[in-house]
Amino acid sequence: MTGIFADAGGPMAPAADSTKISATGSYAEVLANEEAYRVPGVEHMLTPALIVVSEIVDANIRTAIQHAGGANRLRPHIKTAKLERVIRRYVDFGIHQCKCATTREFEAACAAGVRDVLVAYPMMGRNAQRIRELSVRYPDVSASALVDHREQIQQWDRNVGLFVDVNPGMDRTGISAEQGDRALELARAIIDSGRSFRGLHFYDGHLGSFAFEKRRALATSGYEQLAKLAADIESAGIDVGEVITSGSAVFMFATACAPLAQAKWQLRVSPGAAIYGDTNIMQQIPAEYGFRPAAVVATRVVSHPRPDLLTCDAGLKAVAGFAGLPNCAVLGWPDLATQRMSEEHLTLQAPPGAALPALGSILYLVPRHAGLTVNNFDVALFKSPDGTISLERVSARGHEPPR
């Protein structure tokens, strides 16, 4: 695999054969056009700056609803969205349930009007207590959490519903899907404790690295196994109210899997990154599915260190680089390739003899990982369809201070 989608050789290593994006079809057209992302007056603002385009956010939500089979099929993960205003757009489109991973994300979801919030992270100790405190503050919100061991059950009040976390082979958390007896035992333990067993959670995010059709086959096989596990639990007399699967790379496969999607339980899928459509999404989902970049970083050219190099002010503190280089694509400049990054610097390589963007000019970067990039900023420039620009706080950024 080449271009921005190549496996990185280290934390900041460039791909072996290329450090620029390889995109085809309408994705290439999107990357060639920066018009939708331009903010009037940005050249007079501090950079780097995060820009969120509301019209594209809305289009990505509509696209997710379409491929999920309806708004009620979605339980999006808001770890990428992060802005309360964006989370409210989910609610405006009739999506009243979500997933989150931090106490700040939980609070942002509740404040945005989400009615049903799952903490899709195995919280223990003070973290679980903090979620309990927030659930008391928002009594109209149905709160739930994940468990994969008996000891975790006692972390939660009886007003917090519990999902059994099933390990799809990612080996991060959860009970193996092949250990049906353990899952059934844990579901019974939840009920015997006086708490509410809400269903099963199955996140197969590791499949995003496979080619599309291989990913479809692997995901479908996992969903069939998950459907059997859910059916076995129901055969034991325990109601499985909801089965939650799938991030952005595979959610369309879950809703197409008949044993999973056509059973009596509520199937919900959890795309997160699709809301901002980063270059990972361009790798994982064919262009015809309709997702587009909605969050970009405006950066200023600050140096021409060589005739074929330019340096911008969007380093690792702006554009996330955990997966190595290339960590972004440059809108309107498809031949510029990421060459080096440090905390404040992004150096781009131009082809021999090519003209460089002028010193002081603004470039727009599509990040490889939108969620971690958005998490770098305190505020976003929010661009409305009428061209109005507002500053919106990234309310679910980072973690709450120790307390």
What are the backbone dihedrals phi and psi of residue 298, each rounded to the nearest 5 degrees, phi first?
A: -85, 130
Structure tokens at 376: 């770098």
Residue type at position 265? W
Which of the 8 DSSP states describes residue 74?
A: B
Contact call for residues 166 and 156 (beta carbons, < 8 A): no
- Predicted TM-score of the model (pTM): 0.93
Which of the 8 DSSP states describes residue 346?
A: E
Nearest to 183 by CA among 255, 141, 232: 232
Nearest to 295 by CA among 386, 388, 377: 377
Q: Helices marked H in 83-211 — which ranges?
A: 84-92, 103-111, 125-137, 150-153, 180-192
Structure tokens at 382: 């929010």
For residues 306 and 275, what is the distance between their CA atoms, to the nearest angstrom? 37
Give residue for tokens 């050789």.
9
Q: Which fold has domain 3-53+280-393?
A: Lyase, Ornithine Decarboxylase; Chain A, domain 1 (2.40.37)
Contact call for residues 297 and 328 (beta carbons, < 8 A): yes
Q: Which CATH code is given to the segment(s) 75-270?
A: 3.20.20.10
11-22: average pLDDT: 43
pLDDT at 32: 85
pLDDT at 23: 54
For residues 21 and 250, what is the distance between their CA atoms, to the nearest angstrom? 22
For residues 264 and 2, what is the distance between their CA atoms, to the nearest angstrom? 43
Per-residue pLDDT band at 84 (split at 50, 70, 90): very high
pLDDT tens digits along 351-400: 999 999 999 999 999 999 999 999 999 999 999 999 899 999 999 999 99
Whether the pLDDT of residue 43 is over 90: the answer is yes
CA dihedral 282, 286, 292, 295 (to 10 degrees): -20
Domain ranges of the chain: 3-53+280-393, 75-270
Q: Could you write out the three-class secondary structure of 364-387?
A: EEEECCHHHHHCCCCEEEEECCCC
Nearest to 164 by CA among 146, 182, 184, 138: 146
Burial 199-212 (b: 16+ CB within 10 A, else e): bbbbbbbbbbebee
325-340: average pLDDT: 93
For residues 43 and 358, what is the distance between their CA atoms, to the nearest angstrom? 13
Whether the pLDDT of residue 338 is over 50: the answer is yes
Name the strand (E) or helix (H) holding 232: helix 212-235
pLDDT tens digits along 189-213: 999 999 999 999 999 999 999 999 9
Structure tokens at 312: 């911008």
